[in-house]
Structure 1
Amino acid sequence: MAKRPLDDAEEVEVLSRAGLRAWLSANHARPAGIWLVTHKKSEGERYVSGEEVVMECLAHGWVDSLTRGKDERRSMLWISPRKPGSNWSRFNKSLVERLESEGLMTPMGRAVIDRAKADGTWTALDAVEALEVPPDLASALGGAGARAAWDAYPRSVKRGVLELLLNARRPETRAAKVAAIVEAASKGERPFQWGKPDKSP
């Protein structure tokens, strides 16, 4: 069987939030990510919650992404330095506020936040989080009589679609995504539901 991406990446096991914080403090400047191995909740004192992992990553300028199982007692989470151009979600920004209020934010984390505020990625998702429909999509939905179907989508669907649209870099790519969204809405389907059967709004 062919290896999956990151199969040979380093694994680091932690047994506490303090242990994770110490590792990130010592290794925050490394260029590549690692598989963070954590124990499941059934393991008692060895358990580190997902929120604690995310908060420590944010505090040190890192970010979490892929998850994998390890064994019956442990799981793995890919964590890595946050790259320039990575947009910030409202949830992560709320965690940053908590870190600051609790005195847990580090200079490394603040440097990444300052970079995001300077390059616009700190606020890039604000309109998406507010579910603001951009003019090109609003016009296309209205022209096709599909706005009611769009309005009936769950928040999670609309947010995901709007973020995909935001990330379309080229005008032709964005136009194609707008067309796909309108086509799905016109059919009473949810856009971009890869690998899943289409569902009504």
Structure 2
Amino acid sequence: MSKDTPVFYPETMTAWRKWLDKNHLSEQAVWLVFHAKKSGRKTITWSEAVDVALCYGWIDSKKVKVDEHTAHQFFSKRKAKSTWSKINKEKVDRLIDAGLMKPAGHAIIEIAKQNGSWTILDDIEDLIIPDDLEAALKQHKGAMDYFMGLSKSIKKMMLYRIKAARQAATREKRINEMATLAAEQKKPKSF
């Protein structure tokens, strides 16, 4: 953990909301302190923390276990090209309907809609197999069946790896590797 990043322990959603209301523009990030239920300490849940963060255009990332009762979760301003998961888009819809979204939250959503990061994960979330991956899987005996039998989370990770390729050659290489390994009933090494 960076010594420059503040650490904040919100006992309530109101406390977290007040911290963000005061600091969401001036601070870049914060480590939130969470306690396990069995600790007996008052704490908000991860989901509640994300709800409040989304209202201010912030998002969670890395979690660090401190001890058996305590963890720190990193929250920061969402980057303009940060992708939006289906879960967070659903959360945002509920927060907007409830009138909780702040101007900074609305602004980052509009940026995401304009630059495409709002929808880039939609096909992955819906487990839509791109044509080039499907063709490669069909060229290898048993590869399609193996791929289809993988868990949703593994398939999503694989589809994301393809989508994240910045160059056509990288995408092609990843697809070929996945198809070859699927024919051997193996997951790619990065999984």
TM-score using structure 2 length: 0.92
**2:70 counterpart (74, 92, 97):** 74
The share of aligned pairs that are identical, in percent, is 33
Within 5 Å, which residues of 2 pair with 1:40-51? Answer: 40-44=36-40, 46-51=42-47
1:123 corresponds to: 119
Question: What SS does the corresponding residue of 1:75 show, helix, strand or coil?
Answer: strand
**1:181 counterpart (178, 181, 187):** 178
Whichever residue aligns with residue 148 of structure 1, its letter is: D
Decide whether the 8 Å contact of 2:35 with 2:41 is kept in 1. Answer: no
Closer, same or farther in 2 for the Cα pair 1:25/1:120, shift >3 Å?
A: same
Higher mean alpha-carbon deviation, 127-136 vs 39-48, is at: 39-48
C-alpha distance in structure 2 between counterparts of 1:102 and 1:192, whole Å: 43
Whichever residue aligns with residue 27 of structure 1, its letter is: N
2:32 corresponds to: 36
Task: Please identify runs of 4+ aligned residues in structure 1 that moved more than 6 A.
Answer: none
TM-score using structure 1 length: 0.87
1:152 has 2:149 as partner? yes
Whichever residue aligns with residue 25 of structure 1, its letter is: D
Q: CA offset at residue 31 of structure 1?
A: 5.5
Q: Aligned-residue CA RMSD in angstroms? A: 1.6
C-alpha distance in structure 1 between counterparts of 2:53 and 2:148, whole Å: 35
Question: What SS does the corresponding residue of 2:67 show, helix, strand or coil?
Answer: coil
Closer, same or farther in 2 for the Cα pair 1:10/1:31, shift >3 Å?
A: closer
Whichever residue aligns with residue 176 of structure 1, its letter is: K
Q: CA offset at residue 43 of structure 1?
A: 4.5
2:166 corresponds to: 169
C-alpha distance in structure 2 between counterparts of 1:140 and 1:164, whole Å: 15
1:140 corresponds to: 136
C-alpha distance in structure 2 between counterparts of 1:192 and 1:106, whole Å: 42
C-alpha distance in structure 2 between counterparts of 1:73 and 1:152, whole Å: 37
Closer, same or farther in 2 for the Cα pair 1:31/1:165, shift >3 Å?
A: farther
